[in-house]
Amino acid sequence: MKIATYNVNGVNGRLPVLLRWLKETSPDVACLQELKAPQENFPEQAILDAGYKAIWHGQKSWNGVAILAKDREITEVCRALPGDPEDEHSRYIEALVDGITIGCLYLPNGNPAPGPKFDYKLGWFERLKIHAAGLLAADKPVVLTGDYNVMPTELDVYKPERWVNDALFRPETREAFKTLVQQGWTDAIRKIYPTEVIYTFFDYFRDAYGRNAGLRIDHFLLSPHLEKRLLAAGVNRDVRGWEKTSDHAPVWIELKDDE
DNA sequence: ATGCCGTGGAAACCACGA
């Protein structure tokens, strides 16, 4: 089973690219972030026509997450990260697909840091850790994937020294990601490629893609059950070079079928 | 060091992103 994640940066503006990517790479499950569309403006029919069922949590202007599945049922578990009823951002949706719990997340950017946006990011991280610990304790196959807005190590940044004070790379942010992983999760890309430079995001300007001036901020965290089933992982880097494309590239994993 | 680009929504600019 192939599972992919893609920060589309506007699901309607990106629809031709999204449909082409689905057709060319044919993931069984696709987690989308940054829909930037209210609930009623999600392009459900076009996605159904492409062969995918979908659940989504939209929001006017910003955020928004979705889970798509081809030829499979999607059973929604929740559409908010527990722990703060005041949080109105659409940044988390969770579903069961083929017995796998799939958490699709869009972690806050957090800039400028320090400040209230950075506090919100760290608070969101703390809630994610609590939720993730509960998922591990349930001892089931789980994937937590999406745009984490974190470069975990210097290997994941084209010029680390320029990012040390940025909310995506500050010590507090890296520490939060590290302690999350240390609960018992596996970073799928790093399991397959421990030392390679791999990026999932390239700024739109100054030809960041052409210069390979990127960041690795979209991640797959796997529970122990799924770590054993991991066959392959990668980035659809060429998608970032398409016309009218997102500033993120899709990331994917391939899992062995359950016995 | 920087929003130089891009999106959405409102209103011919602004917020936001990483």
User: pLDDT by residue (tens digit) across A114-148?
Assistant: 999 999 999 999 999 999 999 999 999 999 999 99
Q: How confident is the model at residue A258 (pLDDT cuts 50, 70, 90)?
A: confident
Contact A105, A32 (CB under 8 A): no
Query: Distance from residue A204 (CA) to nucleotide B1 (C1'), in Å?
Result: 17
> Does A57 carry a binding-site annotation?
no
> What pLDDT does A5 receive?
98
A37 touches strand B (CB under 7 A): yes
**Domain spans, chain A:** 2-255
Residues 48-107 of chain A sitting with CB below 7 angstroms of strand B: 60-62
The pair of three-digit structure tokens given for residue A257, joined into one six-digit string: 């079928």
CA atoms within 13 A on the CB side of A75: 6
Contact A87, A81 (CB under 8 A): yes
Share of chain A above pLDDT 70, in %: 100
The pair of three-digit structure tokens given for residue A143, joined into one six-digit string: 């994937």
Q: How confident is the model at residue A99 (pLDDT cuts 50, 70, 90)?
A: very high
A162 touches strand B (CB under 7 A): yes
Query: Distance from residue A235 (CA) to nucleotide B15 (C1'), in Å?
Result: 30
> What pLDDT does A211 receive?
95
Strands A142-147 and A100-106: parallel
- What is the second-level CATH architecture of the domain A2-255? 4-Layer Sandwich (3.60)
**Nearest C-alpha neighbor of A29 from the set A98, A90, A128, A105:** A98
